[in-house]
A and B are shown apart, each in its own frame.
Chain A
Amino acid sequence: QVQLKESGPGLVQPSQTLSLTCTVAGFSLTSYNVHWVRQPPGKGLEWMGVIWNTGGTRYNSALKSRLSISKDTSKSQVFLKMNSLQTEDTATYYCSEGIAYWGQGVMVTVSS
């Protein structure tokens, strides 16, 4: 059974770095890709980036300078790091395996 679960701090101070973890079950990160998508409160979905099964990455050009996605296949975990956070980065952050399987999301608030 495919499962993904995001975890991380609920509150981050402006200018700090966000670190999130996506722990997966039911599939191997050596065979499947994992995407990160975020959604500001009351707004639409924004694709952030992907780490391919090969370990390569692609990022949304609007976030590329601040965003890094990595993984530890032995732990079935994918990591998102984004620096220089601002209030407009307040959102629910989701990880997904392609289009079919999504985590429950983690709400991150950027505030002092």
Chain B
Amino acid sequence: DIVMTQSPSSLAVSAGETVTINCKSSQSLFGSVRQKNYLAWYQQKPGQSPKLLIYLASTRESGVPDRFIGSGSGTDFTLTISSVQAEDLANYYCQQYYDTPYTFGAGTKLELK
């Protein structure tokens, strides 16, 4: 199974700050056929289902604000949230969908400082 190591587990921020969440996979998520990395980022607020933010490592889902930026390739990936807003306070998860089981990172809780 591919192990996803996500850090930090929690992050205290002030509105307007830029934050970075990291996700490292135990093997490459790069698919040679489509030349893409099979890595997704989700936002989850209490009592809600996960919401897809980023897929293929860096493609923003429709309707997601452009302050959410996904980057990385191979085994190292990053979610950057620029100018954090109060509505961004939530849990964030990475997930690889390169191979089953489609494993998740342990999550990052974004809190208000």
A and B associate = yes
Q: Which residues of A contact B (CB under 8 A)?
A: 35, 44-47, 49-50, 58-61, 94, 98-100, 102-105
A35 lies within 8 A of B1 (CB):
no
- Set B1, B52, B104: member contacting A44, Cβ < 8 A: B104
A61-B61 contact given A45-B93, A102-B50, A105-B49, CB 8 Å threshold: no
Residue of A at shortest CB range from B107?
Answer: A44
- Set B52, B95, B100: member contacting A50, Cβ < 8 A: B100
A99-B52 contact given A58-B100, A60-B101, A61-B1, CB 8 Å threshold: yes
A46 lies within 8 A of B100 (CB):
no
**Interface of B: prevailing SS:** loop
**Closest approach, in angstroms, between the C-beta of B19 and any C-beta of chain A?**
19
A47-B40 contact given A100-B61, A102-B49, CB 8 Å threshold: no
A99-B104 contact given A94-B49, A105-B49, CB 8 Å threshold: no
A100-B52 contact given A44-B93, A61-B1, CB 8 Å threshold: yes
Q: Complex Cα distance A20/B49, Å?
A: 17
Instruction: Known pairs A99-B55, A103-B49; list 4 more (Cβ under 8 Å).
Output: A45-B50, A94-B50, A99-B52, A105-B49
- Set A44, A47, A98: member contacting B101, Cβ < 8 A: A47
Q: Complex Cα distance A105/B44, Å?
A: 13
Q: Complex Cα distance A94/B104, Å?
A: 14
**Closest approach, in angstroms, between the C-beta of B62 and any C-beta of chain A?**
9
**Closest approach, in angstroms, between the C-beta of A44 and any C-beta of chain B?**
5
Q: Complex Cα distance A47/B101, Å?
A: 7
Q: Complex Cα distance A59/B49, Å?
A: 21
Looking at A49, A94, A102, A105, the one whose CB has the most chain B CB atoms below 10 A away is A102
Q: Complex Cα distance A58/B55, Å?
A: 22
**Closest approach, in angstroms, between the C-beta of B91 and any C-beta of chain A?**
8
Q: Complex Cα distance A94/B105, Å?
A: 17
A47-B102 contact given A61-B1, A99-B95, A100-B61, CB 8 Å threshold: yes
